[in-house]
A and B are shown apart, each in its own frame.
Chain A
Amino acid sequence: MKNKKMSRGNKTGRLNGYILTLVPLYLFTLLFVVGPLIYMLVLSFMTRAETWGVVAEYTTKNYKDILDPVYLNTFLESLRLAFLSTLLIILIGYPCGYFMAKLSAKWKKRVMLLLMIPFWTSSLIRLYGWIIIFRANGVLDAALMGIGITDAPLKLLYTYPAVVVGMVYALLPFMILSVYSSAEKLDFGLVEAARDLGAGAIKAFLTVSLKLTLPGLLSGVILTFIPSMGLFFIADILGGNKVVLIGNVIQEQLMKAHNWPFAAALATVLMVLTSLIIFLYRKIAKVRDLEGIV
């Protein structure tokens, strides 16, 4: 009897300890994720003050303002860019991640290092690097004209393609790493088994390799699609004022127009939109476990 009690006491003790270790995690999420989200939601229903700041007066005006074609178009434009960048990232990143997993341990380390080195510098500085490459008579123009492919500067800086390249450049590593982590777990013996059972190389890839690395690909898509909706500074630096994304509008409303409630409303809509897309995407893809996320 006494023993039983003691063991139960121990169990609850262990359980308490278990919960205790989780407390900081919950606290962090509450403080830095849930809190700001609620603040943003509340803010989006408030009124902008005459000069500076916010007046606690309920209104739905901010949401009605979003229905203006200018903002709707910006949303559409952002979605279009996000889809395009994500597609390019898949096309480049999937093969990279997949074949990286096939390398020998020594080469894996080396390639991983190459992938990581850019993260040692601020992404902002790296984007300014692209300006040097893209600007008229910059590195790219000089190279292309030097070889003789083009005979006049391309003037790529502050164009839509420049922004796409910037997005792909910034987000590609996430796709490669995500696919790599999935492909690393793939037993290439399974591909051999498929070949042995009569599948050609392409068929074996589609029925075995692709299916088994799909979780990595899908989490890679989420890791690239969502940020590409909001990376305003890439559009800012490489697109000038020619490419305006929803992230730019939010930043402008917040920092320049000081219209916090409207910025909050835009951000809320953006968040709902991306959540909806992920939700639909998961429904369609029928993925039970996205690696690492969700």
Chain B
Amino acid sequence: MDDLLRLENITKSFSGTQVLKGICLTAGKGEFITLLGPSGCGKTTTLRIIAGLESPDEGRVLLEQMDVTASDPNKRDVNTVFQNYALFPHMNVENNIGYGLKIKNVKKEEIRRKVKKMLELVQLEGYEKRMPSELSGGQRQRVAIARALINEPKLLLLDEPLGALDLKLRRQMQIELKRLQKKLGITFIYITHDQEEALNMSDRIAVMNEGQFIQIGSPADIYDRPKSSYVADFVGNANILRGTVTHIEKDIVSFQHESGMGSFLSRGHRFVTGMPVTVAIRGEQTTLGQTDPLYIDRKDRMSLHGIVKEKSFSGGMLHIALELANGEEFICNRHGIDFEILSGDKAVIGWLPEHCIAVDLIEEKP
């Protein structure tokens, strides 16, 4: 009931192209929500509408039950950390951070005291007199965060704040941002196209594509129980297989694919023989063998055949790309560099049914 932010059926078009197709979102107090999606999916537009820098064609923006759809950005208790930080180049760090307070005619000593406190918070003590041009990317980013937080907003919007930083610094800032957010209890709405970042930091993730929210849920929901092949692919880098249900035994459903057989757990959904089905299975939860080895004694025996095309090593994992009979690619991930299967080998892919999930199901309305 006491939602801090509520978006109701927001639509927005730019020169005839619909960028937002009626999005709804609620955010509670102190929640960390991530908008995750590829570039051009409407994340930034959503954020700009919340900030008041853009007005929606239709729909309403409510802040603490107050309709602020028509309010100017300076009349909203919302601050933004912009993608390029947008630090004022003609002001030093102190004046940048103190800008919001100065606008509100806060006393000079008070501003100085609060800026000092903010600089401590973002670990930039002693940088008051530096100009933005004299700061590194990570430092600029901290100044941008401090400049927004000093106004004690109820809601902080962050537009890919870590996008310009290198991987190591990004990891470090992820932890720091999360720590800040917990400490201050401010609601964060955070934009990223990096699924790891989203999974690491968020209380809830809203996966976005083509101006719509595809799925909103906790990181575990999004990662382990994707509802659509899009989410399974975008967030979990899962393999997507399309087949036909052949038989059902208790909660194990088997399906026929052009490259062989597979099975998954029904998880309470109703399946019937002959119906088409789409499943998602993540690469690290598959096995790979030269013959049908592992589940030979089980009812859910499966044997999906493929030809090894390529092996690459990244992120501590070996990625083996296989080509299935229908030409689709299937990725298996393994720890370690060495793996006895070579390019051109025939291989059999297997998995436990509980690791395979049916997606793109039509929602059963109660």
Interface positions of A (Cβ within 8 A of B): 187, 189-190, 192-201, 203, 207-208, 211-212
Contacts and interface: CB of A to CB of B under 8 A. Distances in A.
B104 A198 contact: yes
5 contacts: A193-B82, A196-B78, A197-B100, A197-B148, A199-B99
A207 B53 CA distance: 18
A207 B100 CA distance: 12
Contact of B72 (A197, A200, A211): A200
B228 interface: no
A255 B325 CA distance: 96
Interface string B70-86: 00111000111010101
Contacts of A207: 99, 103
A190, A198, A207 pick with most chain B CB within 10 angstroms: A198
Interface of B: 51-53, 72-74, 78-80, 82, 84, 86, 88-90, 99-100, 103-104, 147-148, 151
Contacts of B147: 197
B89 A196 contact: no
A189 B87 CA distance: 9
Contacts of A199: 74, 99, 103
A199 B86 CA distance: 15
Contact of A198 (B74, B88, B89): B74
B90 A197 contact: no
A189 B52 CA distance: 13
B74 A200 contact: yes
A215 B204 CA distance: 47
A189 B53 CA distance: 10
A197 B78 CA distance: 8
A201 B72 CA distance: 9
Nearest to B73: A195
A107 to B, nearest CB: 15
A197 B84 contact: no
Given A195-B52, A197-B147, A198-B100, 12 more contacts: A193-B82, A193-B86, A194-B99, A195-B72, A196-B52, A196-B74, A196-B78, A196-B79, A197-B74, A197-B103, A197-B151, A199-B103
A103 to B, nearest CB: 16
B74 A208 contact: no
Contacts of A211: 90
B286 to A, nearest CB: 45
A198 B53 contact: no
Contacts of A196: 51-53, 73-74, 78-80, 148
A189 B81 CA distance: 12
A244 B103 CA distance: 49
A196 B73 CA distance: 5
B53 A195 contact: yes
Contacts of A198: 74, 100, 103-104, 151
Nearest to B95: A207
B45 to A, nearest CB: 13
A196 B104 CA distance: 13
A195 B74 contact: yes
8 smallest CB-CB distances across A and B, nearest first, come from: A193-B86, A197-B100, A195-B73, A198-B103, A198-B74, A189-B86, A196-B80, A199-B103
A185 B52 CA distance: 24
Contacts of A192: 53, 73, 82, 86
Contacts of B84: 187, 189
Contacts of B89: 190, 212
A208 B122 CA distance: 25
Nearest to A214: B90
A197 B99 contact: yes
A254 to B, nearest CB: 45
Contact of B80 (A187, A193, A201): A193
A193 B151 CA distance: 13
A207 B99 CA distance: 10
B83 to A, nearest CB: 9
Contacts of B79: 196-197
Contacts of A194: 88, 99
A99 to B, nearest CB: 19
Contacts of B151: 197-198
A190 B91 CA distance: 12
A197 B72 CA distance: 11
Contacts of B80: 193, 196
B178 to A, nearest CB: 23
Contacts of B90: 211-212
Contacts of A200: 72, 74
Nearest to B80: A196
A194 B73 CA distance: 9
Nearest to B76: A196
Q: Which of B78, B100, B103, B147 has the most CB of A within 10 A?
A: B103
B118 to A, nearest CB: 13
Contacts of B82: 189, 192-193
B88 A208 contact: yes
B174 to A, nearest CB: 23
B298 to A, nearest CB: 59
